[in-house]
Amino acid sequence: MKRRRTSYSIPLLNQKLTSNPENEVEKAEKKYISQIHNAAKILASRRIVLISGPSASGKTTSAQKLCETIRKGGKKCEVVSLDDFYHNKEHLPIVNGEPNAEIVDALSVSLIHKTMENLMRDGFSYVPRYDFTVGKRTNDASFIDIGSDGIVIFEGIHALNPKINQGLKPESVLKLYVSPHSDFSQNGIRILTKRDVRFLRRLIRDSWARNTDPEGTMNMWPAVCEGEDTLIRPFADYAEMYINTTHSYEPYIMKDKASVLLNEVPHNSKNREIALQYLNKLQTFFSVSSGLIPESSLLNEFINRDEGSHL
């Protein structure tokens, strides 16, 4: 399935967000959630959903919202994170002499298969939990029950890798790829690319959810992108449906907080020039209050509204 890439006109958005920001926010939220509802409609008799996407794409929120929609339709549903299937840190695969947690073999693929088999055969299974603070997996950490006709959603960056769904009947699986698929342009020039949008999401989320300073995020980002290009994006074409998580108003919401964080990058840092480039991009947008973000919005996965009316 081909991805539908779109571009938002910044001048047009400026008009809409100046005249009636609440309306534009509502339209953006409805546009996203309608894709979730469409995914639920095409499930039919399928029992497993596989959701993949790059960093800061909105996989976690999309999985939860799809699960909620399925439950409202009268079926049992549970979300399982593939991150909980990582090998203990001492058993991670060695690549070029170093432990590698990025490749699919960093996950216990056999345990994933066993969990899927249990759920399809019995309707229930124990699932593990991974503690990233110590690099250790606890097996049988929790119990999930989807019954005889319920649905389980497996969410993670490697979800569409053929090693994950090996042995599953194709007719029993729905594959989704979640990511921003829209950029922001002005006078025919792309100001913010799709990857830029994800970087800004990651920058802000890391600052409040992971206690990572801007330098830390910027130091990691090139390797994150390289891993996406080699380990995630090649399998995107296996998806039956793409969910575009771009929200038209998000650069305006992110501008203030992202600018504060980017200005924290030291003048003598190797990342300073990149920070200045992003600051220049953000000057194209004006600030919109984070108070306009609905409580149910996907953007809350990245933006901490409690920090104030403007972020």
**For a pLDDT cut of 90, what percent of the chain falls above it?**
89
Q: What is the pLDDT of residues 92-133, one digit of tens each?
A: 999 889 888 889 999 999 999 999 999 999 999 999 999 988
Provide mean pLDDT across the span 262-279: 97
Instruction: State residue 102's pLDDT score.
Output: 87
Spatial CA neighbour of 257 closest among 191, 198, 199, 307: 307
Provide mean pLDDT across the span 73-81: 96
Lowest mean pLDDT among 150-154, 166-170, 288-292: 166-170
What number of other Cβ atoms are within 10 A of residue 276's Cβ?
Answer: 14
pLDDT tops 90 at residue 55: yes
Instruction: State residue 2's pLDDT score.
Output: 53
Provide mean pLDDT across the span 45-66: 96
pLDDT tops 90 at residue 45: no
Say which residues have a Cβ less than 8 Å from residue 126's Cβ, sequence separation at least 6: 115, 118, 139, 140, 141, 142, 143, 144
Provide mean pLDDT across the span 201-229: 93
Provide mean pLDDT across the span 204-226: 93
pLDDT tops 90 at residue 268: yes
Instruction: State residue 4's pLDDT score.
Output: 64
Q: What is the pLDDT of residues 20-44, one digit of tens each?
A: 999 999 999 999 999 999 999 999 8
- Tallying the residues shown for the chain, one arrives at 311
Q: What is the mean pLDDT of the chain?
A: 94
pLDDT tops 90 at residue 239: yes
SS3 228: helix
**For a pLDDT cut of 70, what percent of the chain falls above it?**
96
Q: Sheet of 48-52: strands edge to edge?
A: 77-81, 151-155, 48-52, 173-179, 241-244
SS3 1: coil
pLDDT tops 50 at residue 152: yes
pLDDT band at 304 (very low <50, low <70, confident <90, very high): confident
In angstroms, the CA 79 to CA 81 distance is: 7
> Chain centroid to CA 239: how far?
15
- Report H helices in 178-213: 194-209
pLDDT band at 309 (very low <50, low <70, confident <90, very high): very low
In angstroms, the CA 175 to CA 160 distance is: 7
Provide mean pLDDT across the span 173-195: 97
